[in-house]
Structure 1
């Protein structure tokens, strides 16, 4: 069977122990094309059909955010997955602003998981679009190094990351669905208010 998803793998993230060959083997219909630099990636994009870009954040000649910006100028709708060795709120914020399709820390994945994420990014089911968007934002929140939460329109927490759990001492189940005032009251107590 001919593989029909072509992913451009720019400066593969070594600490995830995911090589282009391992990633290609993990995806049932995934061909991975490696590129070491932004120039290599842009050359490949201009000469080859590419369905998704997977890029590390720290590249030899630039960073992944700059690559996202250039790729968005060339191919605005091309799915772009950014991975970083250690998440930070600053990088995640820049990635969201640049329009990445997905963002995650490399320590939290393996070849099978990454291949699945690429395939889901390329072939999202219209029936699970709200879930896919929620999972996209949830993965960004989780990847941030600072304590972060999201709330719904009623002020109830929908997502909390591990950093917030560690800082607050709560379990995830104790916070999800609870009003944000739970954390605000705790913060006021800590500050002696």
Structure 2
């Protein structure tokens, strides 16, 4: 039996919309009405499901979603401590208050030790509203604490995953840079530059709370060290596109390699040279979006394909293929290097 209880005047819209769902175990009609009266007197909105025996109590406990259990301690064929045990087995976090006229101190202490939230004597029913409020507040506090703990556990796991990925990236960069460096000085310069790009990318992602970040911001942050040279320029053109963290890190590393090469041998190495970097996003037939980046060097010295395969080219090709799940094409024209990168936006 369900009985919604509501004070004649309730101003709190949340109480009106979200009644406290109570499972009441009580075989006495008189005591049932007494409990209802004291709940009403204490204010608030309650939706009460009334049961008088074990079978209907268990059925209601299994079928319903309750915020609180109120149970008489002594019934003809059932008792409150058994109801408490059943509740703890099936709904361990559900607040449970024993209501009894014959609850001794020893039994009360045992019941609390077995998981009861509180107990109220029928001779002191004026305590019921405050006991209910306290039980609900404690349950909500436990729920929030558990939610915070679960969130913290998730964050720690995510942090561990990201740290491992970052360390693996740093290790790979160090190994590849060292294997392709002729001198220690060459290794130091190249490695520290790549490490700085990785740091800048992570800093940008931290500012975005490790969510999606604007592609333009990623490009501007990566290319900023190359803009201070007089007589050369970087021209960026494209729409606002929000990309995921993994794509942001990879694009930063790839663009750093292109810009470093251009600063040493290409359009950013001589006065009057410039790089045009454009990007756009197009929708494919299957409904997915494809991002295209186009790097074009102009008015720099004549370039020729390198005689040996460096780490920069390996990073560009593998980064596009494995990290971006996309494609890349690096071309060496007489008027400058061109690089096209495409990857799906997920």
TM range (shorter): 0.5 to 0.7
| Cα distance in 2 for residues equivalent to 1:34 and 1:16 | 8
Confirm or deny that 1:104 pairs with 2:120: yes
Aligned residue number for residue 86 of structure 2: 70
Deviations along 1:127-173, whole A, 9 cap, x unmatched? xxxxxxxxxxxxxxxxxxxxxxxxxxxxxxxxxxxxxxxxxxxxxxx
Deviating beyond 6 angstroms after TM superposition, the runs of 4 or more aligned structure 1 residues are none
Confirm or deny that 1:29 pairs with 2:42: no
TM-score normalised per structure 1: 0.56
Larger Rg: 2
| Cα distance in 1 for residues equivalent to 2:87 and 2:123 | 25
| Cα distance in 1 for residues equivalent to 2:38 and 2:134 | 14
Residues 101/36 of structure 1: CA separation in 2 closer, same or farther (3 Å cut): same
Aligned residue number for residue 58 of structure 2: 42
**1:23, CA displacement in angstroms?**
4.7
Confirm or deny that 1:82 pairs with 2:91: no
Asked if structure 2 preserves the Cα contact closer than 8 Å seen for 1:10 and 1:55, the reply is yes
Gaps of 5+ in 1: 127-193
Confirm or deny that 1:11 pairs with 2:11: no
Asked if structure 2 preserves the Cα contact closer than 8 Å seen for 1:30 and 1:115, the reply is no
RMSD: 2.4
Give the number of the structure whose residues are more often strand, by fraction. 2
**1:28, CA displacement in angstroms?**
1.2
Gaps of 5+ in 2: 1-15, 142-346
**1:73, CA displacement in angstroms?**
0.4
Asked if structure 1 preserves the Cα contact closer than 8 Å seen for 2:67 and 2:136, the reply is yes
TM-score normalised per structure 2: 0.32
| Cα distance in 2 for residues equivalent to 1:25 and 1:87 | 24
